[in-house]
Amino acid sequence: MMIIFDYMNMNENPLPSTTPTSPSDLAKRIRNFLIVIAAVILSVAVFLGVRTDATSTSLPQLAEASIPVDVALSNGKPTLIEFYANWCTSCQAMAPELNEIKQQYAEKLNFVMLNVDNSKWLPELLKYRVDGIPHFVYLNQKAETIAQTIGEIPRNILEANLDALIAENPLPYTQASGQVSAFNSPLTLDKSSTSDPRSHGAQVN
């Protein structure tokens, strides 16, 4: 038996071949890929920026949302007063967590914020002997001073004090103190009434 190959047909129907990619097509693909990558990076950056703006907390915002001091002293709830200043780095550092704590305890506590740069609060500055900030004052339901702490305080310590304040128990961390932003207090006291010298950032009991 003889097998005869049809060379003519084979020549007329050659096997398909792959067309090589031209340099211009390769450049277009690289450009499109880079555009996609840039779009993804930009989208992530915008998302993170919006999220940061939404979750950031400023001291003026906290102060504006705080309870007026006269209301806090008369509504029968325990109160946390914070003496602060917008330039105080320790106050700024605590602001996000304080905002969360405020929301957590909003139904049980008054949160009052007094700016030490506002001369309106001179009587309170004098009463609580404020010479370093942040300065926290804990008041019971009768607006009586229970304790005072100064400086940047860890959240768990602050929450423990607030839980005790609400339950009318002794505060566990009355001697707590942290990083303080000292300021030139505008208070002028009679030397006869200040036998114990005070220094900026000292613990107030």
Q: Which residues contact 180 (CB under 8 A, 6 or more apart)?
A: 90, 132, 133, 134, 150, 151, 152, 200, 201
pLDDT at 17: 53
Would you call 96 helix, strand, or coil by DSSP?
A: helix
pLDDT at 164: 96
Domain boundaries of the chain, sorted by first residue: 59-151
Residue 172, φ and ψ in degrees, nearest 5: -75, -20
DSSP string, 106-170: TTT-EEEEEETT-GGGHHHHHHTT--EESEEEEE-TTS-EEEEEES---HHHHHHHHHHHHTT--
- Tens-digit pLDDT profile for residues 191-203: 334 433 333 333 3
pLDDT at 29: 79
Contact 122, 187 (CB under 8 A): yes
- Measured CA to CA, the distance from residue 72 to residue 80 in angstroms comes to 9
- Measured CA to CA, the distance from residue 49 to residue 56 in angstroms comes to 11
Read off the pLDDT band of 204 (50, 70, 90).
very low
Strands 79-84 and 110-115: parallel
- Tens-digit pLDDT profile for residues 36-68: 787 778 766 655 544 334 346 789 999 999 999
For 145, left (φ over 0), alpha (ψ -120 to 50), or beta?
Answer: beta
- Tens-digit pLDDT profile for residues 139-182: 999 999 999 999 999 999 999 999 999 999 999 987 655 566 66
Rounded to 10 degrees, the C-alpha dihedral 36/40/46/49 comes to -150
**Which of 145, 121, 146 is CA-nearest to residue 133?**
121
**How far separated are the first and last CA of the chain, in Å rounded?**
116
- Tens-digit pLDDT profile for residues 116-147: 999 999 999 999 999 899 999 999 999 999 99
Read off the pLDDT band of 19 (50, 70, 90).
low
Rounded to 10 degrees, the C-alpha dihedral 205/100/62/156 comes to 20
**Which of 111, 116, 115, 88 is CA-nearest to residue 101?**
111
Q: Which residue would you say has higher pLDDT here, 22 or 63?
A: 63
In the CATH hierarchy, which top-level class contains the domain 59-151? alpha beta
User: Which residues are bridge partners to 158 per DSSP?
Assistant: none
* Residues marked as catalytic: 88, 91
